[in-house]
Amino acid sequence: MTNLQPVRGTHDLVGDSSRRHLHVVETARGVARRYAYEDIDPPIFEFTPVFERTLGEGSDVVRKEMYTFTDRGGEEVTLRPEFTAGICRAFISGGMRQNLPLKFFAAGPIFRYERPQKGRQRQFHQIDVEILGVAGAQADIEVIAVGADVLARLGVADKCRLEINTLGDPESRAVYREALVAYFEAHEAKLSDDSRDRLRRNPLRILDSKDEGDRKLVADAPLMQEYLNPPSRAFFDEVCRGLDALGIAYEVNPRLVRGLDYYTHTAFEFITEALGAQGAVIAGGRYDGLIETLGGPATPGIGWAGGIERLAMLAAATPAPQRPIALVPIGPEAEARALVLAHELRRAGHVVDMAYAGNLGRRMRRANKVNAVVALILGEDEMAKEVVTLRDLDAGTQSQVPIAGLAGRLAVAGGAGSCRA
């Protein structure tokens, strides 16, 4: 028999890992809803050009990491390597232009073929927020504030720092690109092979290089701030003033970049040292040219994505699940009655676990295993009296309680199965 194992770079979400995952998603969704973001769930796969156009055909993601295949109909499709492209495609194909501005929240799996590492698998998960149709700096300030609030609600804000930079408008960026190319061409012999390739296709990506030789050159490379025109500088100043007004601390990192030409103005990352080399837990920026790249109308946009696995590892222990009530029927007639009683209790908001077989001892062991707060024992004597025996599994005490109105007598809050007088 084949020894079945999960595919390399995938993992099962079960038990505590599942609870941590859901805690991150539900916390982030709750914050996004307070900012009036609408849920969106684009397909897990798209036609490949959706990602090739938006990520850049020469990018590492497109060249090395995308899960691309030809389906049975002969169409080339790709499992999504990020959310933004699919959301922008949905904006175009769904004819949403008349509804601008739009604010979206998404969460779900992302797929990239890369070396599995801490907090990053080949199938991993992200939360994502996007604002479409707002050209002003207030959108940049808001999406950063959403990220800061998510981190605060997860209890990890003190483990993270916000780094921001400006990429300027297209005019500033074009001038900066020329200066950057001229600088690196003068040192081309010292660049790594990857960076020499990037010099032709996407020179700003050299600033992200992890090669030690490249990093020494990058340290003396021109800075974007030196090439900002007045409108670009004013935009970034407005973003910084807005963050100051909200009390959101930040550091300006002049080396923080986004390589593709449709990115403009604000780029930002929430960084942590608590997870080793994989420091960014939330990263985003403004992409005013992306929707045009996909063939849609000129539409400004800004957003960010956060890694759920990384945030789950960073977060403190998740809130304990509501402890169940154990229903312990003894005998066939009691089992039939308990089935109905369990249904009534669940509909009233209680978490109920019922052992399906075994004697009283076995069923009580089941109650302890699931960490039940109380056990409701229902046997022939109890049925004759129309009561249950309520055993407090923490205190070790027990009493008989009428079945009639039992759902209302049991306290739901916190899963406490205490009985009200």
Of 118, 402, 398, 127, the C-alpha closest to 274 is: 118
* Same domain assignment for residues 233 and 336: no
Strand order in the sheet with 68-70: 45-47, 76-79, 68-70
Q: What number is the average pLDDT over the span 258-264?
A: 77
Token pair of 156, please? 């990890």
Question: Could you tell me which of 49, 96, 51, 85 has the C-alpha nearest to residue 297?
Answer: 96
pLDDT-based confidence at 146, cuts 50/70/90? very high
- For residues 74 and 77, give the distance between their C-alpha atoms in angstroms, rounded to a whole number: 9
Domain CATH for 142: 3.30.930.10
Residue 238, pLDDT above cutoff 80:
yes
Domain residues for the domain of 346 are 325-415
Among 24-33, 126-135, 183-192, where is mean pLDDT lowest? 183-192
pLDDT of 189 above 70: yes
Last residue of one domain, picked from the residues 284, 314, 344: 314
> Residue 286: is its pLDDT beyond 50?
yes
CA dihedral angle for residue 350, residue 353, residue 359, residue 365, rounded to 10 degrees: -100
What CATH number is associated with residue 329? 3.40.50.800
pTM for this prediction: 0.86
Whether pLDDT at 415 is above 60: no
Query: Number of folded domains in the chain?
Result: 2
- Look at residue 247 and tell me if it is in a domain: yes
Pairing of strands 398-402, 102-111: unpaired
Q: What is the mean pLDDT of the chain?
A: 89
Which residue has 């038990």 as its token pair? Answer: 15
Same domain, 241 and 358: no
Q: What is the DSSP string of 156-171?
A: -GGGEEEEEEE---HH
Q: Please tell me whether residues 408 and 302 are part of one structural domain.
A: no
Say if strands 38-39 and 45-47 run parallel, antiparallel, or are unpaired. unpaired
pLDDT tens column, 201-235: 778 888 878 888 888 898 899 998 899 999 999 99
